[in-house]
Chain A
Amino acid sequence: MPVFPVEPLTAAAAQILVAAGTPVDIARSVAGWLAGADLAGHASHGLMRVPWYVQDIQTGQIRPAERPAITRETETTVVVDGHAGFGFLAAAAVTERVAAKAQRAGVAAGAVVRGNHIGRLGAWAELAAERGVVFWLTYGGPQYFNVVPFGGARGRLATNPMTFAAPAGGTDPMIVDFATSAVAAGKIWVARDKGHGVPAEWIVDKHGRPTTKTADYFKGGALRTAGGHKGYALSLMVELLSANLTATATDAQSPLGVFALGIDPNAFGAGPAYAAATRATFQRMRSTPPAEGFNEVQIPGDYERRSRATIQATGIAMPEPTWQAILDCATSLGLEARAIERLARGE
């Protein structure tokens, strides 16, 4: 499996996005966020997606030169129009704006419309935590329909994920980030490619029966929700907040929306006590005796922090077919594969 140093690989990805018509500054930002997902240990949301984004540019789904703009604003609310550009830009804009407003007003909420895909959700929670605010972001809407409601036999929901950040003043924050489906669809693809079965909690066949055979998923099956009726209820909550409240639900081009909430840790006057209590909460978790099969109890966000430390040093490993797909994409845009390869290797 080829391994690349982080910065050169990111620069190579940016060059491909530029060749597809993306302005240089936007291409660098987007490549940086994608590499951030690889560094966090979530390759599924990382640079392997470059060819997908290029395809989205070619079909007109993503307008690569568009930049987000604020279309409505009050002291505590903001609506960001992504203008069908890269969703990363709109997600960053709404996060920054909501964080700034929360620090002034105690609490603030934001929405993204016409946003496109916004990448790994945890990135926005991490950004908000850096700004020092408690943060909640949901992303979803009526598209894909690859998740079955509890008790149903057909997909009617998206994976409708959410992320939550709890900064703790001077120590690493907690970053929760999960899909309300049992797993992301990518895990079913991975299992199929490896010829593995999956736990029956993950998928149903076309009759709504739990199954362990990935083939059933691809023949009209669907993902199940996390924890049965619980993940189902949360999925609907995410859809209502992200798409219905923002009116993206009726936008055929871009039905997935973003809801973001920022809270000043001192909103109720508990600022220092909040930070101390939150550090104590983290300590209570980490000091829990581990269950069999675990070395330790972590808090959400620990895994990503460790991955970053490791991968920054070792570089980003990419399966050969994934790297080849990126090179093919570059070639199709008139770039020279060998030049991209040299750039990515930092030669």
Chain B
Amino acid sequence: MATAGLHDSELGELQRRLIILRVGLLLVVALLGLRLWHLQIREGPYYRDLSANNRTRSVIMEPARGLIYDRNGVLLANNVPSFTLYVSLEDVKDRDLLIDQLSNLLGLDAALVRNKLTARGSKQLPRKVKDRLTLREATLVESHRLDLPGVMVQVESQRNYPGGVMASHLLGYVGEVSPEQLEKPEFADLHQGSIVGQYGVEKFFDQLVRGQAGQKSIEVDAVGHEKRTVVVEQAHAGDNLYLTIDARLQKVAEKLLGEESGAIVALDPRTGDVLAMASRPGFDPNILSRELTPKQWAEIVQDEGRPLNNRASQGQYPPGSVFKVMMAAAALETKTVTPSTSIYCNGGYQFGRRVYHDWKAGGHGPVDLRHALVQSCDVYFYTVGQRMGIETIASFAHQFGLGEATGIELPSERVGIVPSEAWKKKAKNEAWLPGETISASIGQGYVNVTPLQMASLIGTVANDGVTFRPRLVQAVMDRATGELQQRPAVPKRTLNLRPGILPLIKEALAGVVKEGTGTRAQSALVTIAGKTGTAQTMALRAGPEKDIPKKFRDHAWFVAFAPVEAPTIAVAVLGEHMGHGGSASAPLAKELIETYVKLDLPVPSGVTDGAGAREGDAGGRERDDRPGD
């Protein structure tokens, strides 16, 4: 048995004191019971409603867009983390109050916030109110979280273009998907607020670059605050694009244009790779990818320099004398002339009662085909064109890719105009006038081309008649698998010309630079062949060039390829209202080509094989189904 201590008398006392515990216990339990009755019975319905307001909510996780690199892996477009302000409408109790609070807190335009919150769309999906919050703004919102029910700040990736204005027309910009876009099937998996490419490569390759949105389930409490997040499906980043352009060459091309309006396109004729594509004036895609106010938009759209216009693929200009390259090939192929046929140029071409002037007052005297190209004799081509007729000219122009899309992977490419009787009937409902054939013969009149078409045309000549579709993206990397998929060069067409015609023309074009109108393109580094063009914008010209207001001056063209012996680059330069091609544009082409030569890019894969096949191909076609024979 247990030891009974001296103090056992105290045991009885202790046991008597138990009554305190009994009473205390019953008291406390009664209080707890009362409290539970109050919570569960009296206020039960209230708490039941509150618990019904606690719920899970699906939120889309925006994917990171794919990165865009140049051909050497220089980053052209990436993503930077940024804060985005969302409002979940379901949790907003007093919308006006919230609009007030947000506009005060962040200095936002109240009307703009209201628009965002009242725009059509699912009530379940949080509305994006502002992106690119500064750290200060984000902190401000977070610190007022409890007073701003339904307001969420999410970290998202924002498109960023490290090069700023560089290659802006090519890269394009991104923006929220528009309500009209959302109706289309290709945007079916998107939602209001999704970011899509709105221009350039960003738009054309949007489905690759866009990535796949993920989904997370957010548990939101009765006051709309995110409490716990369960990722249902991870977002998948978009594919990375490796462009064919060389950032260094692109930069030089843009610098060459400087403040002037115009375009420079450089292609690799062997593959169609776009090495550079500049259009000035440009824009900063970083600004355009932000949300702009209607006023900011109006400023950009109404800018007289039309910075949003990609002059390389969307600008349409009369080709001027550059057209003669095609004309020469057509004349030889149709046997309208032989290389040695001589035409006398006295400075004008009489047709009916009108005299069509040569650019050189007094004329060139007797000219053969080579001379006509080298000196860009207009009368020679008036004569030739008149002999061939507009339908033959049009059919050859089409063969050279004019009047049709080059197929470059950019949105809204323009195709220019190759006039013909049918075209005029359709477009103007008028009959073709014989004199119009004469204008067309030197690339004036209705003829319209884009700089890209001109680059492709001269590239075709350089590449012995094989046209490649301009390629902008050489490889796509799947971000999920890390697999790099090369996109092959796509041959588009082979000119149907007798052998010997193109070598002759190429030699003449080398002569243009050596001794003709394009001497300012002469380079000590590399042999260059080219053709000048001066496209008239006004029918009448009076007085010396410098007295004419800038906007009425001629467009200056220069197309070129180099090295003459084995061309690796084809260039088209267009300077809007810059005057003569020989003086204004030829030096730009030369500098670009020299830059390119100094870069010493590796030979594109598959080029040598392709060249062999092409030669065989061209030979095989000899004398076959040729049109107009």
Whether A associates with B in a native complex is: no
On A, residues with C-beta under 8 Å from B are none
